[in-house]
């Protein structure tokens, strides 16, 4: 078993870091102890780093602003979300397609950026991410569209995620009722799924 000092020596040798955000850097709007110091160290040492998040709610610009509010100054180029991964995946599967989206602006904007349009009549895909707008009406619409032929895609398979007050339902939990009602399995894009 490696000693703590040997582990730290190995970390210091690394040139690049991929860092999870939710539950690692912060819980909701609460910065976790040591996060700011770690990011400061990365910047002082000129390490390359990328924050990954399965949350599809925010754009890289919004994630950068959130981190700034928490006291960490990091530009938008240091963030990659499940919304961006989902948009890239869909653009590769069907360029300039359409989607019915249950999700927040970060997901919708990522889809627009790759040439997707929003469509609640006959979309190519029903795309589900974390969404405060999730309700019975959106669920019914999604079920009917999937039964009608739209493919079901989730931004990530997480059933729960960390919030300030404890666990909250995440994308996998929001997709489950659609899968159960339609008998169709969703394709999930976010980590740890290799896309």
pLDDT at 33 over 90: yes
Q: Are residues 8 and 71 in the same domain?
A: yes
Q: Which residue has the higher pLDDT, 30 or 40?
A: 40
Q: 22, 40, 137, 158: which is the annotated catalytic residue?
A: 22
Which among 39, 44, 41, 42 is positioned nearest to 72, based on CA atoms? 39
Return the pLDDT at 179. Answer: 98
Which among 122, 128, 118 is positioned nearest to 144, based on CA atoms? 122
In eight-state DSSP terms, residue 181 is H
Q: Are residues 123 and 90 in the same domain?
A: yes
Average pLDDT over residues 109-134: 96
Q: Please, which pLDDT band fits residue 195 given cuts at 50, 70 and 90?
A: low
Report pLDDT digits (tens) over 157-176: 999 987 778 888 999 999 99
Return the pLDDT at 177. Answer: 98
58 assigned to some structural domain: yes
Return the pLDDT at 194. Answer: 67
pLDDT at 48 over 80: yes
Return the pLDDT at 1. Answer: 65
Which tokens hold the place of 87?
Answer: 């948009």
Which among 59, 81, 103 is the end of a domain?
81
Which among 54, 81, 108 is the end of a domain?
81
Assign residue 182 the CATH number of its domain.
3.40.50.1000
Q: Are residues 184 and 89 in the same domain?
A: yes
Find the domain containing 38 and state its range.
4-81
Strands, DSSP E only, in the chain?
A: 16-20, 26-27, 30-31, 48-53, 79-81, 98-102, 117-118, 125-128, 151-154, 160-163, 166-169, 187-188
Catalytic residue list contains 137: no
Report pLDDT digits (tens) over 135-163: 999 999 999 999 999 999 999 999 998 77
Quickly tell me which residue has 């029903």 as its tokens.
126
Query: pTM of the prediction?
Result: 0.90
Catalytic residue list contains 73: no
What's the chain's average pLDDT? 93
pLDDT at 190 over 90: no
How many domains does one find in the chain? 2
Q: Are residues 71 and 166 in the same domain?
A: no
52 assigned to some structural domain: yes
Report pLDDT digits (tens) over 52-72: 999 999 999 999 999 999 999
Q: 20, 40, 73, 158: which is the annotated catalytic residue?
A: 20
Return the pLDDT at 130. Answer: 92
Q: Are residues 169 and 138 in the same domain?
A: yes
Average pLDDT over residues 115-122: 98
């Amino acid at each position: 078993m490696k000693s703590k000092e040997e582990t730290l020596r190995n970390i210091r040798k690394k040139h690049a870091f991929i860092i999870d955000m939710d539950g690692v850097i912060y819980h909701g709007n609460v910065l976790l102890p040591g996060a700011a110091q770690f990011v400061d160290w990365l910047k002082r040492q000129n390490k390359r780093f990328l924050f990954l998040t399965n949350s599809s709610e925010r754009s890289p610009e919004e994630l950068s602003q959130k981190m700034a509010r928490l006291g960490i100054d990091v530009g938008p180029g240091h963030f990659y979300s499940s919304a961006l991964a989902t948009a890239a995946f869909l653009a590769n599967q069907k360029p300039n397609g359409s989607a019915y989206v249950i999700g927040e602006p970060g997901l919708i904007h990522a889809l627009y950026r790759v040439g997707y349009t929003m469509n609640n009549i006959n979309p190519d895909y029903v795309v589900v991410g974390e969404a405060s707008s999730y309700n019975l009406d959106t669920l019914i619409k999604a079920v009917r569209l999937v039964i009608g032929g739209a493919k079901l895609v989730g931004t990530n398979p997480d059933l729960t995620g960390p919030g300030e007050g404890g666990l909250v339902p995440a994308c996998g939990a929001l997709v489950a009722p659609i899968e159960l009602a339609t008998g169709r399995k969703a394709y999930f894009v976010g980590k740890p799924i290799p896309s």
